[in-house]
Structure 1
Amino acid sequence: MILVGKGTVITRDETKPLIKDGGVVLDGERIVKVGDYETLRSEYPQAELIDAKGQIIMPSLINMHEHIYSAFARGLSINGYNPNGFLDILDGLWWTIDRHLTLEQTYLSAIATYIDCIKNGVTTVFDHHASFGAIEGSLFKIAEASEKMGVRSCLCYEVSDRDGEEKAKASVKENADFIKYAAQQNNDMIKAMMGMHAQFTISDKTFEMCRENMPEGVGAHIHVAEGIEDLHDCLHKYGKRIVNRLMDHDLLGPQTMTAHCIYVNEQEMDLLKATDTMVVHNPESNMGNACGCPPTMRIFQKGILTGLGTDGYTHDMFESYKVANVLHKHSLCDANAAWGEVPAMLFEGNAKMANRYFNIPLGVLKEGAAADVVVVAYDPLTPLTADNINSHMLFGINGAMTQTTICNGKVLMKDRELTVIDEAKAMADCRQAAAELAHSING
């Protein structure tokens, strides 16, 4: 049993959003009680104390769209890479990396990413993996890293015809094998989806193969209309828009997650709403790839369940919160835009989406919810109240301010020191693997 306190507890529970001088009691994988620190300490004298030092105590964060395989791209220079548009970025950088990744490099990419996640207060990750140089067993290597690091993960492999039919089949099989594996686990720490790249690299035949290997309760995790090229391809080849093509293959629904949705129209939004399909917004990636600004405010306002991801661009969800806020203000020329929508996506939408796969309540500090808690070093300059929590989050906090990270009742980091791995050795191994990957790409 652990008592985290005392500090200012931000619960994300509407019935009791803020507790001054509060604490949280954890017993195993669940929260036992949230309340006044001194009262909790007298009620649970045997609990191990995690000293919050008067700082912020809040639910750990959820990233709804990650790319672990991109970890070693940071600082990577590829000979001859001079992209002219989104398709050149995909083929020249990302597909080049994934074609060269070994299983060991995939594992270490996961270790590096999970280290960053823990240090930024993220304990639940929905990852979308690709390693066409080593497909078989790749999701299992990520799961191995996930278990070692103690991070809750929902994994999938990116099915695509871009490297031929045999690799597409192998990709579907990797998903199918891992879906079976995840279903057999007796914990709420690992889940699986059917991953797909995007419709413009997937034939009807491959879509059908994916659908045949999706058991009840498992949906697709797919990029949708990330670039205008994706829409043009669908219109040219199939005479329909992207969301309609997915509907025709019976891929939409409450368990399916569509990433980006930049070039979707009103009819497609209505179809996403009618099928209760999820949408993930990835603001920094969209801006960095010059793909455009998605109609996320419209998507959200239609009542489509919408969340926030990083697309591997960062592992700091606060950073994505800040960028999404200014992106939509700038794009709409409306200083009032995104104040309510973006924090609702991050702190409410992500939890609702994640709980379509994970059973234990996530993203909230209340009795019975997941023992996923972070302590953040933030000393507010102005009064922090139940009414201005999100304003403080937006303008005052970033992920690197996370001091202690707990997931499933296990302390992963305490006072900025990782407890689950020798960080220095792990990072040395990752740097070596990154150098080997760069050498294999550039020769």
Structure 2
Amino acid sequence: MLLIGNGRLIARDAQGTFFEDGCVAIEGQTIKKVGTTAELRKEFPKEEFIDAKGGVIMPGFINMHNHIYSTFARGLSINGYHPKNFMDILEGQWWRIDRTLNLDDSYHSAKIAYLDSIKNGVTTVFDHHASYGAIEGSLTQLSNAADELGVRTCLCYEVSDRDGEDKMKAAVKENADFIKASAARNDDMQKAMMGMHAAFTLSDKSLEHCAAYTPEGVGYHIHIAEDIADVYDSLKKHGKPIINRLYDLGILGKQTMAGHCIHIGPHEMEMLRDTNTMVVTNPESNMGNAVGCPPAMRMFNDYGILMGLGTDGYTNDLTESYKVGNIIHKHHLADPNAAWAEIPEMLFTNNPKMANRYFEKKLGVIEEGAAADVIVLAYKGPTPMTKDNYNAHILFGMNGGAVTDTIINGEVRMRNREVQGVDEEKIWHAAQAQAQSLWNRINA
């Protein structure tokens, strides 16, 4: 058994439980009990104890939309790359990178992404992978990296027509193979979805091919209307909005996750709501790509769509997305009241709800029977922290770098900022060498 105590404990349960001096007892892969430090240390006096030192104890973060393959883009300069719009960004950078990626690139970039997730207190990652330079076995590379680092993850491969029919079919097969492999596991640590790039790079025939290899209970992970070009493409080629087209082809539904949804209208929001389709918003990426601000407040408040928060490969620090999500909607709507409640509900309530449409054990909460995914942050705060204001303390006072301890599935993956069970320096060194190799190939 493991005790984590002597900290302000934010449980994120239905009762809003908050302990000034809280403690959580972990047995195996599950949370056994929650209470005060004095109570639990008296009840379990001989058990291993992690001292939060007056910091904050809370559930691990869940990243609902990431792109691990973007890891080696940091600092990359591509010859002749001067984008003027989002399509230029895709063609000139991301598709050029993923067409060059080999299996070693995928593996080492995943090692870094999962390592960085641990260091930022992210215990579950939903990833959307692309590596058209090496499709077959690429999800296995990510899976192996996740197993080695001990991070809970849900994977898919980005199906697209952009490199021809053969590679589209190979991408579908990669998804189908991994869906079978993840289903054969009994540890609730890895799940799978059928990944799709976006409507504008997929014909109806290709979407139908995806559906033919997607088992019941498995949904789709797809970008929707991230750029206005996606909207124009659907209207021009198919005579209908994107959401209508996906609905007609049976892509929407409870297990499906739609990334971005920036350029959609009210009737499309109604269809997302009525099909119980999940939506993930990615504020930093949207600003960085200059694609616009999504109508997230309308989707959330007016239509009741289940919305979560992701990073879209921009970072592995979810507190960054919280901070930017809080201000992008205030700025866009010229409303100082926007997003105060909605963004933290997406991050701390909805992300776990969405993740639990795939993972069995309850995530995102510190309560008896839930998954033992717990983090500790070194944070004191210049003002009192209470059950009514702890979100404001997280928003304005904490970041991923404040995380000192990360426990995933009952295993201590980082203690006192030291990642456990792996040679961190070796991982970084190998990744830098692999990244340089990738850069050389891209600019050859």
Cα distance in 1, alignment partners of residues 115 and 364 from structure 2: 20
Give the match's secondary structure for 1:214: coil
Give the match's secondary structure for 1:157: coil
Q: Which runs of 5+ in 2 are unaligned?
A: none
Cα distance in 2, alignment partners of residues 47 and 71 from structure 1: 39
| Corresponding residue for residue 241 of structure 1 | 241
Deviations 1:164-199 (A, max 9, x none): 000000000000000001111011000000000000
| Corresponding residue for residue 389 of structure 1 | 390
1:109 aligns with 2:109: yes
Letter in 1 for 2:130: A
Letter in 2 for 1:361: K
| Corresponding residue for residue 189 of structure 1 | 189
Deviations 1:2-56 (A, max 9, x none): 0001111010013252111110000111000000111101111232111111110
Give the match's secondary structure for 2:264: coil
Alignment of 1:426-437 (within 5 A): 426-437=427-438
Letter in 2 for 1:32: K
Give the match's secondary structure for 2:131: coil
Cα distance in 2, alignment partners of residues 234 and 347 from structure 1: 34
Letter in 2 for 1:323: V
Cα distance in 2, alignment partners of residues 173 and 274 from structure 1: 30
Letter in 1 for 2:422: I
| Corresponding residue for residue 408 of structure 2 | 407
| Corresponding residue for residue 418 of structure 2 | 417
Alignment of 1:34-433 (within 5 A): 34-301=34-301, 302-433=303-434
Cα distance in 2, alignment partners of residues 245 and 158 from structure 1: 19
Deviations 1:250-297 (A, max 9, x none): 010000000000001000000000000000000000000000000000
The answer to which of 46-55 and 103-112 deviates more is: 46-55
Cα distance in 2, alignment partners of residues 106 and 421 from structure 1: 19
Cα distance in 1, alignment partners of residues 130 and 335 from structure 2: 38
Q: CA deviation at 1:429?
A: 0.1
Cα distance in 2, alignment partners of residues 46 and 288 from structure 1: 50
TM-score, normalising length: structure 2: 0.99
Letter in 2 for 1:36: T
Give the match's secondary structure for 1:254: coil
Q: CA deviation at 1:341?
A: 0.3
Give the number of equivalent residue pairs. 443
1:7 aligns with 2:7: yes
Q: Which runs of 5+ in 1 are unaligned?
A: none
Letter in 1 for 2:389: N
Cα distance in 2, alignment partners of residues 107 and 186 from structure 1: 23
Give the match's secondary structure for 2:359: coil
Cα distance in 1, alignment partners of residues 170 and 403 from structure 2: 39
Cα distance in 1, alignment partners of residues 421 and 86 from structure 2: 38
Q: CA deviation at 1:420?
A: 2.8
TM-score, normalising length: structure 1: 0.99
Cα distance in 2, alignment partners of residues 189 and 420 from structure 1: 18
Letter in 2 for 1:66: N
Cα distance in 2, alignment partners of residues 149 and 141 from structure 1: 12
Letter in 1 for 2:400: G
Give the match's secondary structure for 1:5: strand
Deviations 1:192-243 (A, max 9, x none): 0000000000011110010011111100000000000000000000000001
Letter in 2 for 1:28: G
Cα distance in 1, alignment partners of residues 375 and 98 from structure 2: 33
Percentage identity across aligned positions?
60
